[in-house]
Amino acid sequence: MNPVTRNNTTIVWFRTDLRLTDNPAIYAASQRGGSVLPVFIWGPEEEGEWPLGGASKWWLHQSLGSLRQSLVSLGTPLIVRRGLALEVLRQLVRETGATAVVWNRRYEPAIIARDRGVKEGLRALGIEAESFNGSLLREPWTVKTKTGGPYQVFTPFWRACRSELEPPAALRPPASLVPVDRPVQSLTITDLGLEPRIDWAAGFTPVWSPGERGAQALLNQFLSQREGAYAHDRDRPDREGTSRLSPHLHFGEISPRQIWLAAAAIAAASGTSSTQWQESRFLTEVGWREFAFHLLYHFPDTPLAPLRPEFSRFPWRPDAAALRAWQRGQTGYPLVDAGMRQLWKTGWMHNRVRMVVASFLVKHLLLPWQEGARWFWDTLVDADLASNTLGWQWTAGCGADAAPFFRIFNPVSQGEKFDPEGTYVRTWVPELARLPAHWIHQPWAAPAAELRDLGVVLGKTYPRPMVEHATARADALAAYAATRGGA
């Protein structure tokens, strides 16, 4: 095919920014004038990216469908291609005569390196190549300690991050887009084979509405109905206390700036002072997401290696059968099993329960935290290299600002405290549904005859605990002492 004469076409390379409002790349393209070619490129395995997990692929399929619809309504299709990013973009430049490529930045170490190469490769051809911040409140390199280094403790990080933060108004979506004046070949989204072959994701559909519209509806609903009670409901897995925005944020269907500004508008309307709402529990959690990206950017080895080096000596006890029991929600600890089954069925787990199941894997079973992180990566719809790494290293005690290793969650008392009636466990572990609240978190404490009357036979209808809490705790502390002593 003959190269097309250069013209004022801008290619917008969509990645984890699958929205049109407050999207700096699409905004820049529409400001340039001329035609716009939105493109999504699938080829992550070849470029050092962590291969997307099954649940994330399911989400991506739906989200791309939603983005495509929005783009079509503005007058242009979404072009879907497979291959290495630079090669595909060069090819599209040749086919369309585009003079610019724009995208929003990502912060995973391999992607940073890849994108740098793409930018250089395009510029070498005389193509404008520009990237923007579309997914963080502050770029990770702009928040520095007094000595100019990265933060490793959350509270001062978040204070510093907020101190210079006056986000401008969110960028409006383009009212329309001019398509390129020739047909450009595209795969269909289905061609990418993102949807699971087994019927695993059937439980996802009733729970989630991937896409920009779903994200916006969830934010509005949360801010108008649940934000007020967030500070005390956020730790209760038995309540709808949190926003569930995490997969939408991960795929960039909504930006943290939109969240920040929406929260600010509501606070202003109710006369809340800016210090008060900026310190609100909800925005603080959004701050943890910023912190996760800050850490991933400055400590790029942490998805696999502990931030605190002494933990590389930790005497983990890899055990495939124990790992499988944990993955399947068959540990014999109802809160842990409920969490793992909620994850499998819906692709999401409540934060409090994530901490409990992660602690159980690492401290009760002495399995390496990386095994748990890998399972989460495959099964979470919000699987995110930055937040998942932070969550696992925090729980294992080997990361920045982490829970000390010796603080070992007791899954029974965690259940009694945060799921006092047992509603959460009854939802996800139906074989225990008839147990009264005082036994639901420790069925082994109930007399066997009474358990039988309630339809439970331990070891048959529901497993016995795979480890005893006090023994596991003592073992974990001994392993930790060995690590610290360098034994």
Which CB, 384 or 419, lies closer to ligand FAD? 384
| CA 295/CA 387 separation, integer angstroms | 10
| Minimum distance from residue 388 beta carbon to ligand FAD (Å) | 3
Residue 50 designated active-site: no
Nearest one of 261, 262, 297 to 108, comparing CA atoms: 297
Residue 133 designated active-site: no
Q: What amino acid is encoded at 96 in this protein?
A: T
Nearest one of 330, 331, 364, 328 to 343, comparing CA atoms: 328
Residue the block writes with tokens 């393209």: 29
**Contact of 414 with 335, CB cutoff 8 Å:** yes
Residue 351 designated active-site: yes
Asked if 285 interacts with ligand FAD (CB under 6 A), we say: yes
- Candidate residues 286, 322, 361, 440; the one interacting with ligand FAD per rule CB under 6 A: 286
| CA 132/CA 103 separation, integer angstroms | 6
Asked if 278 interacts with ligand FAD (CB under 6 A), we say: no
Which residues share a beta bridge with 129?
101
Asked if 294 interacts with ligand FAD (CB under 6 A), we say: no
Asked if 162 interacts with ligand FAD (CB under 6 A), we say: no
Q: Which stretch binds ligand FAD (CB under 6 A): 124-132, 383-391, 412-420, 445-453?
A: 383-391
Asked if 243 interacts with ligand FAD (CB under 6 A), we say: yes
Asked if 9 interacts with ligand FAD (CB under 6 A), we say: no
**Contact of 143 with 161, CB cutoff 8 Å:** yes
Q: What are φ and ψ of residue 132, in 5° steps? A: -135, 165
Asked if 383 interacts with ligand FAD (CB under 6 A), we say: yes
Binding residues for ligand FAD, how many (CB under 6 A)? 28
Asked if 106 interacts with ligand FAD (CB under 6 A), we say: no
Rounded (10°) CA dihedral 38, 44, 48, 50: 120
Question: Token digits for 461?
Answer: 């209808």
Residue 288 designated active-site: yes
Q: Which stretch binds ligand FAD (CB under 6 A): 296-304, 312-320, 353-361, 410-418?
A: 353-361
Asked if 242 interacts with ligand FAD (CB under 6 A), we say: yes
Asked if 55 interacts with ligand FAD (CB under 6 A), we say: no
Side-chain-side CA neighbours of 485 within 13 Å: the count stands at 8
The b-or-e profile of 188-205 (16+ CB within 10 A means b, else e) is ebeebebeeeeebbeebe
20: exposed, middle or buried (C-beta count within 10 Å: 0-12, 13-18, 19+)? buried
- Candidate residues 18, 79, 201, 245; the one interacting with ligand FAD per rule CB under 6 A: 245
| CA 142/CA 384 separation, integer angstroms | 22
- The residue from 351, 416, 431, 444 that is catalytic is 351
Q: What are φ and ψ of residue 201, in 5° steps? A: -90, 10
Q: What amino acid is encoded at 304 in this protein?
A: L
Which CB, 194 or 355, lies closer to ligand FAD? 355
Asked if 409 interacts with ligand FAD (CB under 6 A), we say: no
184: exposed, middle or buried (C-beta count within 10 Å: 0-12, 13-18, 19+)? middle
Q: What amino acid is encoded at 142 in this protein?
A: T
- The residue from 49, 316, 416, 431 that is catalytic is 316
- The residue from 392, 394, 428, 439 that is catalytic is 392
Question: Token digits for 242?
Answer: 């949190």
Asked if 101 interacts with ligand FAD (CB under 6 A), we say: no
Asked if 138 interacts with ligand FAD (CB under 6 A), we say: no
Question: Token digits for 209?
Answer: 């509405």
Residue nearest to ligand FAD (CB): 391
| Minimum distance from residue 292 beta carbon to ligand FAD (Å) | 5
Q: Which helix (H) or strand (E) holds 130?
A: strand 128-132
- Candidate residues 25, 292, 343, 466; the one interacting with ligand FAD per rule CB under 6 A: 292
- Candidate residues 99, 221, 330, 351; the one interacting with ligand FAD per rule CB under 6 A: 351
**If DSSP codes are grouped into helix, strand and coil, which group holds residue 255?**
coil
- Candidate residues 76, 135, 302, 388; the one interacting with ligand FAD per rule CB under 6 A: 388
Asked if 57 interacts with ligand FAD (CB under 6 A), we say: no
- Candidate residues 67, 194, 249, 472; the one interacting with ligand FAD per rule CB under 6 A: 249
Residue 285 designated active-site: yes
Looking at the annotation, which residues are catalytic? Answer: 285, 288, 316, 351, 369, 392
Q: Which residues bind ligand FAD (CB under 6 A)?
A: 234, 242-246, 249-250, 285-286, 288-289, 292, 351, 354-355, 358, 376, 380, 382-384, 387-388, 390-392, 395
